Amino acid sequence: MGGLTVRLADLDEVRALQLAVLRPDGPIPGDGPPPAGALHLGAFEGDVVVGAASILPAPWPGPGALPEPTWQLRSMVVRADRRGTGVGAAVLRLAEDTALRRGAAALWANARVGALAFYQRCGWAVVGEVWDKPFVGPHRFVTLVLSPSAPHLRRLHSA
Ligand SMILES: CC(C)(COP(=O)(O)OP(=O)(O)OC[C@H]1O[C@@H](n2cnc3c(N)ncnc32)[C@H](O)[C@@H]1OP(=O)(O)O)[C@@H](O)C(=O)NCCC(=O)NCCS
């Protein structure tokens, strides 16, 4: 993973990769422009984006309660030829730290079932039953309660 830079990014820097990974056949009904107010994170090898995610304040739609305010993680992607090398975890860690610094108390996401193990390996909880997102497939909610005392966030804060 040498030469990887993970940082806040402009939408223009990450959108093409997010769409290529998540919408390989083009938009689906209900797709719209990315929400205003979202922050974008990218992992870069030089100028080339290899991983990305977006975060924004959003109410928790799932079962049970989460500490508020809640933020949503969206469009978490890694370029296919870089998966399994820690890029996704690095982007997710920056997303968590950025949300925490901006005042979020918890993060949630609509996770494809194929990505659940990734979130769990990164310390997130899987919540609720499987539900189907039309044109995409089965999903579950994943959540993370943000605490500055979490080991990786503590590391970032003392950096
Ligand atoms: C899900 C995704 C973002 C993960 O990114 P990644 O860079 O491959 O993940 P990492 O290499 O950082 O993996 C972090 C940990 O999760 C584990 N992991 C990642 N993907 C996994 C999978 N599909 N199944 C099991 N474990 C997985 C890794 O083994 C690693 O575990 P470790 O800490 O024990 O080594 C990437 O596979 C992807 O873009 N998938 C397609 C798009 C997608 O489904 N996005 C999520 C939408 S909800």
Is residue 154's pLDDT more than 70?
Answer: no
Q: Which atom of ligand 1 is nearest to the CA of 115?
A: 1
pLDDT tens digits for 65-117? 999 999 999 999 999 999 999 999 999 999 999 999 999 999 999 999 999 99
Q: What is the pTM of this model?
A: 0.94
Q: Which domain holds residue 79?
A: 4-158
Q: What is the pLDDT of residue 149?
A: 76
Q: Which atom of ligand 1 is nearest to the CA of 79?
A: 39
Q: What is the pLDDT of residue 2?
A: 59
Question: What CATH number is attached to the domain comprising 27?
Answer: 3.40.630.30
Please tell me the distance between residue 61's alpha carbon and the centre of ligand 1 in angstroms: 24
Measured between alpha carbons, how far is 90 from 43 in angstroms, rounded to an integer? 8
Is residue 159's pLDDT more than 60?
Answer: no
Q: What is the pLDDT of residue 123?
A: 95
**Which one of 55, 121, 127 would you pick to mutate in the ligand 1 pocket, going by the greatest count of ligand atoms within 8 A of its CB?**
121
Residue 111's nearest CA partner among 86, 138, 134, 146 is 138
Q: What is the pLDDT of residue 47?
A: 95
Cβ atoms of 116 and 142 closer than 8 Å: yes
Q: What is the pLDDT of residue 150?
A: 72
Cβ atoms of 88 and 51 closer than 8 Å: yes
Count structural domains, the chain: 1
Measured between alpha carbons, how far is 54 from 33 in angstroms, rounded to an integer? 13
Q: What is the pLDDT of residue 37?
A: 92
Q: Which atom of ligand 1 is nearest to the CA of 142?
A: 48
Q: Which atom of ligand 1 is nearest to the CA of 85?
A: 11
For ligand 1, which residues put their CB under 6 angstroms from it? 21, 76-78, 83-89, 111-112, 114-115, 117-118, 121
pLDDT tens digits for 15-48? 999 999 999 999 999 999 889 899 999 999 999 9
Please tell me the distance between residue 47's alpha carbon and the centre of ligand 1 in angstroms: 22
